[in-house]
Amino acid sequence: MIYLDNAASTPIHKDVLTEMLPFLSEQYGNPSSIHKLGRTANKAIQNARKQIANLINAQPNEIFLTSGGTESNNITLHGFAYAKKGNHIITSSIEHEAILEPCKRLEKDGFSVTYLPVSSDGLVDPTYIKNAITKDTCLVSIMFANNEVGTVQPIKEISKICKEKQLPFHSDAVQAVGKMPIDVRDLELSAMSISSHKLNGPKGVGAIYIKKGIKIEPLILGGGQENGIRSGTENVASIVGFGKACELAKENLQKNIVHLKSLRDSLVSKITSEIPHVSFNGNREKRIPNNAHFTFLGVNGEDLIIKLDENGVAASTGSACSVKIQKASHVLKAMGFSHEQITGSLRLTVGLSNTFEEIDTTVAILKKVVKELREVSPFKTKYGL
Amino acid sequence: MIYLDNAASTPIHKDVLTEMLPFLSEQYGNPSSIHKLGRTANKAIQNARKQIANLINAQPNEIFLTSGGTESNNITLHGFAYAKKGNHIITSSIEHEAILEPCKRLEKDGFSVTYLPVSSDGLVDPTYIKNAITKDTCLVSIMFANNEVGTVQPIKEISKICKEKQLPFHSDAVQAVGKMPIDVRDLELSAMSISSHKLNGPKGVGAIYIKKGIKIEPLILGGGQENGIRSGTENVASIVGFGKACELAKENLQKNIVHLKSLRDSLVSKITSEIPHVSFNGNREKRIPNNAHFTFLGVNGEDLIIKLDENGVAASTGSACSVKIQKASHVLKAMGFSHEQITGSLRLTVGLSNTFEEIDTTVAILKKVVKELREVSPFKTKYGL
């Protein structure tokens, strides 16, 4: 199988699994226990916290472990909203559902939320943020890189505006961390969400970076783990794996970027030159290195995915996270795509283990499959496909 | 090492790890992806859901996967409170922090909470529940078995009262599931929290049973996984492990109960007969089979744990979940224990892999260690230790 759905989830790196295994067998202590087994588990967590912090140039005590990116986003929105410094939030219209849905709830609860528009290549205009800020604004939350089209936002410019207005700035960086250099100090972020399984770590674990000195209201309460920000017995093995994945991502960052980018660029150039009536979407330059997003005129993306799957290629129409609901992508809508364009979309996201041979095979399969689908497309005559 | 802290966490059963491993290596699909890898992950989750449901005689669609017991409790309290059928909650004074802390927050948010007292052996009197119910009550939440002293509550009687008043009844059954037969249909529970790592499954995963037909307000929002009750990419490997742990717990339930109970009873009879000035706490009969809780007069429990650890025995003073905060147990306080009694407490919780030889060794070590500590105790003369 050729796996080109790395934005949905990535394989666990073998060195990550090796680090995890002791904590899935003999090292089964609860990190809160004061005996040796407990202390060993606790030490392992603190080590992972350092590895995670290192990847983004944070301090270990600025890393709060969660059950994943979705929870990190939920904690952040709830946490800043109920820190009660204002009742207005600014975000974009192309955020992940894990931002948009909590925002909708906050609206029901009396908060006001501004959903900023984006350009046709998925960029938020920092001027719009500046203009949207009111005296009631308590948080700006703009994603780092979009999960569907891969566009990377002007985080530093946005950060500068927020700093001027002394506003906290959060970024959902689930798709960006491990795929581009990110330095939270340099970017002056207040908070940032990270997910382990998007960077070759295990599922079910993630983190929030929260800048030292910022106090937020916790969402999940109990025994007071994670300095009171996130209670619950720590998921030791997965945290250890997450830490190792971050260490590997840091060590190999430049090498990985080059590899992913060449694979992706080869995919894009071959698809756009060998298949007619196809457009490559999102910003060309401001883009994470692993993402390629296309629109195939007259083709239904769902049919395309199924045909590709039958031919051994794993791909996606867009987000994997909108489960079982066949609804049109809000991201592409916000980018001004027509219903037909949205329907014909395909996301191919490369990973560390993909090869150039796989890219060539994929292009050949895609060529064949798109042709077959266009043969029976209701738009065949209309567009001369 | 002799591990007698199974209420804090349990070792992962080897068959559980075997089931998990494919999902930590080649089966890395996101269950929401529609390609083969995604479908395989999704199928594995649905299978686990059945295994979890089977253990407690629920339907698979009544099982909602979470990141653990703490989150399950938080979702339940938030979920029933904000379903907005009333603003009064009844619970007990000996619940886990993962119930008490969310209750305290609900109080800040305008809800009223009744914390029922317990008897000296840790039992809630169902009559008190009956008397506490008002027209505003929207939830009764009483734990199944206490995490410190092991007392099992009269769940069926409480359930009957709630049914008469048409009130939802939730039980935090984290310490009970897998250690005693639990049939949610027979008990007529509305909701129940379960944790995987307390029954020889992995950490970082749990579930809530929610009776079919009951609608609660979700806490974590996003892609709509778990039927909208708990968004976020599913922790596939851990869910698979949790499922297998439940299957094993069901298959071996009677055998395990007999084994745990004989180990525990041997521990209790030897400690109480061979060591002077010791009391065995909690209810003698209404008790989970793995828990033994003692008070050693004139001994500091913390010192005891450290000495036991030095001698190769892993134990606890009470809950492992109250991290780093050296505060007196609210459970023992509610049971009417004096400060001195609380200080001298020790929890020993046996597990499936413990042996009778280990019990004998533990008693010998404990005898020696208690003697040593009493030699230097400030209460030595006062109590004639």
Domain end position, chosen among B251, B279, B297: B251
Give the residue-averaged pLDDT of B210-218: 97
Residue B237 and residue B142 in one domain:
yes
pLDDT at residue A323, rounded to an integer: 45
Report the chain A residue with the minimal C-alpha distance to residue B15.
Answer: A25
Q: Residue B346's pLDDT is what?
A: 96
Query: In terms of residue numbers, what domain contains A222?
Result: 14-251
* A385 in a structural domain: no
Give yes or no for a contact between A290 and A7, defined as CB atoms under 8 angstroms apart: yes
**Nearest chain B alpha carbon to A217:** B105
Mean pLDDT (10-residue bins), chain A, 385 residues: 97 98 98 96 98 98 98 98 93 98 97 98 98 97 98 98 97 98 98 98 98 97 95 97 98 98 98 97 97 96 95 87 65 94 94 98 98 92 84
Is residue A383, in this structure, part of any structural domain at all?
A: no
Asked whether residue B385 is domain-assigned, the answer is no
* Cα separation, A106 vs B190, whole angstroms: 28
Kindly report which listed range (B43-57, B58-72, B242-256, B330-344) carries the lowest average pLDDT score: B330-344
Prediction ipTM score: 0.96
Chain-chain contact of B74 with A225 (C-beta, under 8 angstroms): no
Name the pLDDT band for B320 (thresholds 50, 70, 90).
low
Of B138, B162, B246, B321, the active-site residue reads B321
**Cβ separation of B314 and A232 shorter than 8 Å?**
no
Nearest CA in chain A to B237: A203
The reply to whether A166 falls in a domain is yes
**Residue range B146-167: average pLDDT?**
98
Mutate to test the interface with B, among A16, A78, A208, A221 (most CBs of B within 10 A): A221
User: Based on the domain organization, do A171 and A139 belong to the same domain?
Assistant: yes
Q: Is A350 within 8 Å of A6 (Cβ atoms)? A: yes
Report yes or no on A384 lying in a domain.
no
Residue contact B222–A12, C-beta within 8 A: no
Identify whether A28 is part of a domain: yes
Choose the final residue of a domain: A209, A228, A251. Answer: A251
Which amino acid would we find at residue A174?
A: V
Residues A285 and A344 placed together within one structural domain of the fold: yes
Q: Where are the alpha helices (DSSP H) in B339-379?
A: 339-343, 356-375
Rounded Cα gap, residues B167 and B165, in angstroms: 5
- A229 and A320, same structural domain? no
**CA nearest neighbour of B159 among B133, B180, B140, B145:** B140
Give the rounded percent of residues in chain B with a pLDDT score beyond 90: 93
B197-207 core/surface letters (b: 16 or more CB in 10 A; e: else):
bbbbbbbbbbb
Q: Are residues A92 and A122 in the same domain?
A: yes
Q: Domain holding B108: CATH number?
A: 3.40.640.10
First-to-last C-alpha distance (Å) of chain A: 29
Which of B74, B222, B323 is the closest to A32 by Cβ?
A: B323
Annotated catalytic sites of A, by residue?
Answer: 321
Interface test with B, best of A30, A72, A216, A346 (most B CBs within 10 A): A30
- Which residue among B9, B33, B67 places its CB closest to the CB of A320? B33
Q: Is B22 exposed, middle or buried (0-12, 13-18, 19+ CB in 10 A)?
A: middle
DSSP letter assigned to residue B201: S
Are A206 and A60 in a shared domain? Answer: yes
Are A216 and A322 contained in the same domain?
Answer: no
The token pair at A289 is 């290195």
In this structure, the answer to whether residues A91 and A211 fall within a common structural domain is yes
Q: How many CB pairs under 8 A join A and B?
A: 272
Cβ within 8 Å, pair A97-B17: no
Q: List chain B residues with CB under 8 Å of A24.
A: 12, 17, 20, 202
Q: Which residues of A touch B234 (CB under 8 A)?
A: 203-204
User: Last residue of some domain: B197, B217, B251?
Assistant: B251
Q: What is the mean pLDDT of residues B193-219?
A: 97
Task: Provide the shortest C-alpha distance from residue A261 to chain B (in Å).
Answer: 22
Residue B161 sits in the same domain as residue B209: yes
Residue B284 has pLDDT above 50, yes or no: yes
Question: Coil, strand or helix: which one is B143?
Answer: coil
Confidence of residue B97 (pLDDT cuts 50, 70, 90): very high
Q: B47 lies in a domain?
A: yes
Do residue A268 and residue A200 come from a single domain? no
Q: Is residue A333 part of a domain?
A: yes
| Rounded-to-integer distance, Cα A348 and Cα A340, Å | 19
Mutation for A interface: B24, B111, B329, most A CBs within 10 A: B24
- Say if residue A213 is in the same domain as residue A297: no
- pLDDT band for position B323 (cuts 50, 70, 90): very low
The pLDDT, as a whole number, for residue B385 is 83
Same domain, A184 and A262: no
Catalytic annotation on B321? yes
Residue A288: give its domain's CATH number.
3.90.1150.10
Q: What is the pLDDT of residue A320?
A: 56
Distances in Å between the Cα of A192 and the Cα atoms of A64, A195, A233, A287, B370 are 10, 10, 22, 18, 49
Strands (E), B23-86: 63-66
Mean pLDDT of B354-364: 98
Q: How many domains does chain A have?
A: 2
